[in-house]
Amino acid sequence: MSETMWIALTLATVGAVVLTYLQRRHLARVQRDRTALFEHATGVLEQSRIVPRGLDYPMLYGRYNGRDVRVEPVVDALAIRTVPVLRLVVTMREQLPGQPRLSVLSNETGNEFYSGHRDLLRWRDPAWPTWASVACAPEGVDRELAEAAVGFVTEDSMVKQVLVTERGVRCIVRGAQANSTAYRVTRRVDLSEVRVTAENLLQAVTMAGELCDQAASRRLDVSEAESW
C-alpha cells in the first residue's frame, strides 16, 4: 500500500473518531439539558420522582391532594406555519365510574395527535366561543362540568385541552415555545434550556383537581349533547 493511501486512511480514521466524539458529546449535552426540564417544579408534587427517557424529555410522577399525577412532555410540531411548542400532558388519576368522556380543545387544527378529541361527538352552544371545540360521548355529560371545562380553556391561553374520563382528568398546557427565529430560518426545533416553572405546573394540577372534584359530584344530563 502506498504512502499516500496510508495517509488517506489515517486521516479518515482520525476524522471518524473526532466526529464520533463530537456526536457523543452533543447527545450527552442534550440528555443533560432535557433531564433538567422539571428541576424547578418537583416541589409542586408530593413524593415526586423524575423518570429519564434517554434523549426524550423525562416523565414526572407524584401526588397532589391525595391523587396520583403524571406529567408527560410532548413536542407539538405538526401544525403548518406554526412555531413548535412543548406541551405538558398533566394526568390526574381519579376513579369516576360511569363518567362519559368530555373534551374541550382550543383552536382545533386536526393535528392534535395527543388529544383523542376527534373520536367524540361535537357539542355546540352559541354561548361558547367558536374557537373552543367541545366534544363528548354519545350519552352526554353534566352541563355544569362542561361549563367549567370550557371556562378553563377560554380563560387561559396556555391551556390547549381538558379531558374528563372515568379514570380522571387530563389537562394539556403549553410548557414552552421553540426559538422562533431559529425555526423560521433553519426549521430546527430549538427547545434547549427549557424549564417548567413551579407556577405553571401548580396551575395545571390545580385545574385538574378542581375538575376531578366537580366530576365526582356530577349530574348527568344527556339532553344537551348533539352530533354534527
Domain ranges of the chain: 3-216
Cβ neighbors of 178 (< 8 A, separation 6 or more) are: 77, 83, 84, 85, 86, 189, 190, 191
Q: Would the pLDDT of 183 be above 60?
A: no
Q: How many CA atoms lie within 13 A of 119 on its CB side?
A: 8
Report field, pTM of the whole predicted structure over 0.85: no
Helices (H), the chain: 3-35, 143-155, 180-186, 198-216
The pLDDT assigned to 228 comes to 38
For the beta carbon of residue 206, count every other beta carbon within 10 angstroms. Answer: 14
The Cα–Cα gap between 134 and 141 comes to: 11
The pLDDT assigned to 126 comes to 86
pLDDT, one tens digit per residue, over 70-128 is 999 988 766 655 677 888 999 999 998 888 889 999 888 777 777 778 788 888 888 88
Task: Tell me the β-bridge partners of 92.
Answer: 69, 169
The pLDDT assigned to 168 comes to 92
